[in-house]
Amino acid sequence: MSAIFSKKFDTTLRLAAAGVVLVLATGGGIAAYLLHPNQVDTGYTPTQPVEYSHKLHAGNLGMDCYYCHTTVEKSSFAAVPTTETCMNCHHRVKEKSPKLQMVRESYSTGQPIPWVKVHRLPDYVYFNHQAHVTSGVSCVSCHGRVDQMVEVKQVEPLTMAWCLDCHRNPAPKVRPAEFVTKLDWSPEGDPVELGLKIVQAKGIQPPTHCSGCHR
């Protein structure tokens, strides 16, 4: 019986197989890089319904985070302020500004402003906001320098590894609770030394077992 394939065929086939493996591996690597939360999630800056500037309010005017985000140290859920909170000032300040049209409408109709949530965790993660704030984890550790952002942008990847970095070694990220909302605060001495003291004094033991966050 005559040969079906030429002598070179075997080499060609092996090279082709190696080529396919190479292409798939490269493609997989590129896809894994591009789909990594560092690329996909970090930098997420949704357009908000109202052109609200955190830089102006929290930065230039120096308003405390707690003024609007009232539940962050009392509740597992960090609330977005109601329109009434805005109107506390804005029924006197810039009360004719066209940028505040939607705020005034919301105030008169009672329909909340559809703010877009920026920092979203997966639904299988149990996250307790007050536990973090009362332990002395500053806003800046997860949300970045919001006081310098016109539009709020996600600066951290919010991956599990990122959570665990701090859960395994909380001292560098812990500060006295009264400075939690002072985003530019830094201690006079060694921050880790101070952090360790707070961790010991408060008995902070962040969970690293599965059911700490996945309940």
Q: Which is nearer to another protein, 123 or 178 (CB)?
A: 123
Tell me: does residue 160 bind another protein (CB under 8 A).
yes
159 binds another protein, rule: CB under 8 A: yes
Q: Is 30 a residue that touches another protein (CB under 8 A)?
A: no
Alpha carbons 129 and 72: distance in angstroms, whole number? 6
137 forms beta bridges with 174
Residue 111 Cβ vs another protein, minimum distance, rounded to whole Å? 28
> Considering CB under 8 A, how many residues would be counted as binding another protein?
18
- Cβ 164 to another protein, closest distance in Å? 4
Burial class (CB in 10 A: 0-12, 13-18, 19+), 143: buried
Distances (CA, A) of 51 to 47, 66, 104, 129, 209: 8, 20, 14, 26, 41
Shortest Cβ 7–another protein spacing (Å): 12
What whole-number distance in Å separates Cα of residue 37 and Cα of residue 35? Answer: 6
Residue from 66, 162, 179, 185 binding another protein (CB under 8 A)? 162
User: How far does Cα 129 stand from its chain's mean position?
Assistant: 12
Nearer to another protein (CB atom), residue 96 or residue 168:
168
**Closest distance to another protein from the beta carbon of 13 (Å):** 7
Total number of residues shown for the chain: 215
Q: Measure the CA–CA gap between 142 and 163, rounded to whole angstroms.
A: 9
| Phi and psi at residue 174, to the nearest 5° | -110, 135
| CA angle in degrees (0–180, nearest 5) for 150-147-139 | 125
| Position 161 contacts another protein (CB under 8 A) | yes
Among 110, 117, 124, 203, binds another protein (CB under 8 A): 124
Nearer to another protein, 4 or 201 (CB): 4
CB of 184 to another protein, least distance (A): 28
Task: Write down the least CB distance from residue 54 to another protein, Å.
Answer: 29
Binding residues for another protein, per CB under 8 A? 1, 4-5, 10, 13, 36-37, 123-124, 159-165, 208, 210
